[in-house]
């Protein structure tokens, strides 16, 4: 009998890729909705569950899965803070993740958002939609070869974006507490203060460590930036003080902000007209009120064919390895020895 897996948060255009890469012959069921407390019954009768960000695998849901005999709870994402690892371990459940995928998926988006906000393309399009075809002074900016771009976090994704900017002639500065050797032809390392003071575009690629770097990018960092500079976040919302960013944009302390992430994402992303947006005090509503100076994309950094291929292939391999008793790579919670 085939091993039965239910995959949540599966978009319609992803199904063909799942089917094409299913070399192990798993019996797959796809659900477009995310896993929540309300639809936990959907997992009944399956051997494994495959999740993505904004799915709920907290103690309540994991305990229910365990009661129904579900041992394998995997995610096809790099992030795994939607899974309660302690609860899974207590239940004897196995948890695996995807440690990496094509770095250019997120880097391409960050690059595009930087261009959009620096050149005020969002503002130009918004004006044209209203039949206002006058050029906006906010679009009068230096060309790429005259820009300085600051990359905070020079891991695989940050370095990939740095290469994109270097390729179009920009000067690229980098900051990382663990600088890499041998990349002097791509970027120049600088202190965070110098990077923020000199950069026309600041792009965040900093991992989030709960309780360690929460809201590390806040008012003090924003004050160091040029008033003509834009900030891009395709990393994690938790590393920024969103209220401080909103205040900085309103005050004209920075030119604009573009983000692919937001706090409390599950209240917004994957939905049409979510109830949370109706609260004018919500972060999303405040971001929307500042459009086009603030632009939000719905966490699509990994939404490319290349990244999807990596996520699916590695997830299938994780299931295959688990069934063979091979837990060496990619497993966050393993069976007790």
In this predicted model, what pLDDT tens digit does every residue of 182-212 receive, in sequence order? 999 999 999 999 999 999 999 999 999 889 9
CB 174 within 8 A of CB 187: yes
**pLDDT > 90? residue 43:** yes
Q: Which residues, other chains included, contact 9 with Cβ-Cβ below 8 Å and sequence gap of 6+?
A: 31, 32, 33, 34, 35, 51, 52, 53, 54, 55, 270
131 and 240: one domain? yes
145 and 90: one domain? no
Residue 36: exposure state from Cβ atoms within 10 A (0-12, 13-18, ≥19) = middle
252 and 314: one domain? no
Q: What is the pTM of this model?
A: 0.90
Question: One of 76, 82, 205, 299 is an active-site residue; which one?
Answer: 299
Residue 336: band (very low, low, confident or very high) from pLDDT cuts 50, 70, 90: confident
Tokens 């920024």 belong to 240
CB 256 within 8 A of CB 295: yes
156 and 273: one domain? yes
Cis before residue 292, ω within 30 degrees of 0? yes
CATH number at 67 reads: 3.40.50.720
DSSP run (H or E) holding 257 = strand 256-259
The candidate with the shortest Cα–Cα distance to 306, out of 102, 162, 117, is: 102
**pLDDT > 90? residue 271:** no
Which structural domain range is residue 27 located in? 4-101+304-333
Q: DSSP letters along 85-97, please?
A: HHHHHHHT-BEE-
pLDDT in the model for residue 171: 98
336 is known as an active-site residue: no
141 and 76: one domain? no
Computed over every residue of the chain, the mean pLDDT equals: 96
Residue 131: exposure state from Cβ atoms within 10 A (0-12, 13-18, ≥19) = exposed
**pLDDT > 80? residue 107:** yes
Residue 264 vs residue 63, higher pLDDT: 63
Residue 334: band (very low, low, confident or very high) from pLDDT cuts 50, 70, 90: very high
17 is known as an active-site residue: no
Question: One of 236, 273, 305, 309 is an active-site residue; which one?
Answer: 236
Question: For the chain, what is the domain count?
Answer: 2
18 and 157: one domain? no
pLDDT in the model for residue 121: 96
265 is known as an active-site residue: yes
Helices (H), the chain: 15-20, 59-67, 85-91, 103-118, 121-129, 156-167, 192-198, 219-224, 242-251, 283-289, 305-323
Taking only the tens place, the pLDDT of each residue in 126-164 is: 999 999 999 999 999 999 999 999 999 999 999 999 999
Reading the block at residue 175, the tokens are 């900051």
Question: One of 14, 161, 242, 265 is an active-site residue; which one?
Answer: 265
**pLDDT > 80? residue 282:** yes
The candidate with the shortest Cα–Cα distance to 207, out of 232, 235, 242, 180, is: 235
pLDDT in the model for residue 270: 82
Reading the block at residue 297, the tokens are 């994309």
**pLDDT > 70? residue 337:** no
Task: Please state the rounded mean pLDDT for residues 111-133.
Answer: 96
pLDDT in the model for residue 229: 98
pLDDT in the model for residue 267: 87
244 and 318: one domain? no
266 and 133: one domain? yes
**pLDDT > 80? residue 120:** yes
Q: Cα torsion at 62, 68, 69, 70 (round to 10°)?
A: -50
Euclidean distance between CA atoms 142 and 168, whole angstroms? 13
Cα 234 to its chain centre, rounded Å, is 5
């Amino acid at each position: 009998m085939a091993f039965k897996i239910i995959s949540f948060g599966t978009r319609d255009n992803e199904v063909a890729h799942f089917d094409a890469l299913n070399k192990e012959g798993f019996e797959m069921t796809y659900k477009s909705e995310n896993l929540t407390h309300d639809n936990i019954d959907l997992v009944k009768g399956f051997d494994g569950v495959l999740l993505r960000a904004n799915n709920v695998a907290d103690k309540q849901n994991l305990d229910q899965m365990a009661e129904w005999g579900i041992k394998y709870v995997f995610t096809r994402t790099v992030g795994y803070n939607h899974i309660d690892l302690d609860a899974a371990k207590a239940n004897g459940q196995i948890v695996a993740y995807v440690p990496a995928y094509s770095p250019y998926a997120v880097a391409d988006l960050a690059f595009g958002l930087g261009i959009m906000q620096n050149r005020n393309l969002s503002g130009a399009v918004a004006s044209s939609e209203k039949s206002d075809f006058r050029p906006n002074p906010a679009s009068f900016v230096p060309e790429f070869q005259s820009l300085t771009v600051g990359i905070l976090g020079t891991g695989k994704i940050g370095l990939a974006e740095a290469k994109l900017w270097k390729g179009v002639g920009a000067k690229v500065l980098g900051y990382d507490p663990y600088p890499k050797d041998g990349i002097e032809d791509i970027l120049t390392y600088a202190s965070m203060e110098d990077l923020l003071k000199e950069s026309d575009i600041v792009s965040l690629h900093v991992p989030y460590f709960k309780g360690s770097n929460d809201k590390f990018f806040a008012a003090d960092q924003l004050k160091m930036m040029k008033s003509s500079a834009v900030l891009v976040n395709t990393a994690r919302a938790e590393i920024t003080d969103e209220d401080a960013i909103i205040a900085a944009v309103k005050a004209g302390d920075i030119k604009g902000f573009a983000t692919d992430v937001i706090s409390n994402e599950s209240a917004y992303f994957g939905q049409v007209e979510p109830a949370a947006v109706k609260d004018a005090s919500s972060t999303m509503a405040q971001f929307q009120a500042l459009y086009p100076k603030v632009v939000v994309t719905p966490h699509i950094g990994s939404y490319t064919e290349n990244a999807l291929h990596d996520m699916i292939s590695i997830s299938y391999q994780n299931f295959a390895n688990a069934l063979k008793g091979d837990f060496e790579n990619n497993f966050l919670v393993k069976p007790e020895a």
